[in-house]
């Protein structure tokens, strides 16, 4: 009898031991492995590559082919990061990037374009788009105006765009601002005519007497940081030169309008000529 019991007892003990071992083995996780976290710079590049393709780079130009509905075919363009500024606004960390697009084989009056993008940097170095304003035209000959980033208040920064336009008899330079204040908005904050002259214009009256143009006027506009604690600094504009009414040399101050999200530039600073 004992010889029959012991083998059976041993078999039961083996089964119990095997079950115990299987219970102690951790279950296999079928979930895919998490992707390695990107560094901050790699995250910035990932956002740009998603928009502009793998050829994008933070320094130097790259070439692309863009579809053009008017031409019915792809059109070559050159792009570059034409402004790159890290800022802190309302305790948040951001990066201002301007992507300039110059069109090949452009006509003399054709504008270039610029995409204004503000990226937010999270505490863990994650990157997201905080605000953007795309396809803003400026410049001539298919090339956009020059872009700089500058502080416009204790809680405000802006992209500043300067460009130049030559028309019949006149030279015009313009300055525009695109302002970001940490409120998820990038606003077109106003523009003025930074320079206007009509040296090459000829004005003839009914009697046939002709004279050259008389305009040679500058509006030098800079943010006034004399009270740095202000959330938005006023624009200090120095008007100087020869205007429609003669010689002029005076200062102006233009406050930022928080309701309209812009500087209310008077039309006298946007003239194209004298009536």
pLDDT digits (tens, 9 = 90+) for 17-63: 444 444 444 445 555 655 667 899 999 999 999 999 999 999 999 99
What is the predicted pLDDT for the residue at 21?
44
Q: What is the pLDDT of residue 19?
A: 47
Residue 16 has pLDDT above 90, yes or no: no
Q: Examine residue 255 and state whether it is found in any structural domain, yes or no.
A: yes
Whether 19 is in a domain gets the answer no
Domain-embedded: residue 22:
no
Q: Which domain holds residue 173?
A: 37-62+74-269
Place of tokens 């976290």: 37
- Rounded mean pLDDT, 97-120: 96
Residue 182 placed within a domain = yes
Q: Round to whole Å and give the CA distance between 161 and 164.
A: 10
Report whether pLDDT(8) > 50. Answer: no
For range 223-247, the mean pLDDT: 96
- The DSSP call for residue 91 is T
pLDDT at 121 (0 to 100): 95
Is position 32 within any domain?
no
Look at residue 180 and tell me if it is in a domain. yes
Number of domains in the chain: 1
CB contact burial 221-245 (16+ within 10 A = b; e otherwise)? bebbeeeeebebbbbbbebbeebee
Q: Is the dihedral of CA 219, 252, 256, 150 positive or negative?
A: positive
**pLDDT at 245 > cutoff 50:** yes
Tell me the C-alpha distance between 81 and 101, whole Å.
Answer: 9
Of 175, 172, 252, 177, the residue nearest 217 (C-alpha): 172
Q: Tell me the C-alpha to C-alpha distance, in Å, between residue 224 and each of 119, 146, 159, 189, 214.
A: 26, 21, 16, 16, 31
Residue-wise pLDDT for 75-85, tens only, equals 899 999 999 99
Q: What is the tens place of the pLDDT at every residue in 210-234?
A: 777 788 999 999 999 999 999 999 9
Task: Output the pTM of the full model.
Answer: 0.82
pLDDT of res. 2: 46
On whether residue 91 sits in a domain, the answer given is yes
CA distance 135 to 75: 16
- 30 domain-assigned: no
Q: Helix, strand, or coil here: 225? A: coil
């Amino acid at each position: 009898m004992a010889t029959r019991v012991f083998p059976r007892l041993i078999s039961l003990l083996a089964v119990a031991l095997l079950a115990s071992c299987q219970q102690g083995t951790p279950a296999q996780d079928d979930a895919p492995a998490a992707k390695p976290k990107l560094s901050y710079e790699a995250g910035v590049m990932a956002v740009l590559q998603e928009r502009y393709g793998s050829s994008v780079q933070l320094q130097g130009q790259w070439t692309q082919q863009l579809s053009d509905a008017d031409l019915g075919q792809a059109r070559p363009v050159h792009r570059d990061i034409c402004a790159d500024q890290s800022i802190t606004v309302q305790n948040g960390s951001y990066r201002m990037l301007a992507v300039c697009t110059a069109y090949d084989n452009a006509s003399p009056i054709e504008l270039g374009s610029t995409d204004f993008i503000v990226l937010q940097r999270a505490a863990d170095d994650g990157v997201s788009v905080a605000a953007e304003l795309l396809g803003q035209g400026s410049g001539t000959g298919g090339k956009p105006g020059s872009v700089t980033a500058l502080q416009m208040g204790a809680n405000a920064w802006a992209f500043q765009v300067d460009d130049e336009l030559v028309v019949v008899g006149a030279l015009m330079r313009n300055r525009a601002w695109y302002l970001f204040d940490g409120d998820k908005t990038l606003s077109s904050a106003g523009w003025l005519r930074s320079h206007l002259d009509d040296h090459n214009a000829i004005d003839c009256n009914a009697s046939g007497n002709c004279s050259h143009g008389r305009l040679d006027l500058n509006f030098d506009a800079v943010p006034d940081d004399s009270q740095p604690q202000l959330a938005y600094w006023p624009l200090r504009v120095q008007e100087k030169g020869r205007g429609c009414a003669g010689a002029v040399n005076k200062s102006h101050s233009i406050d930022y309008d928080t309701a309209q999200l812009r500087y209310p530039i008077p039309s006298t600073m946007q003239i194209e000529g004298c009536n």
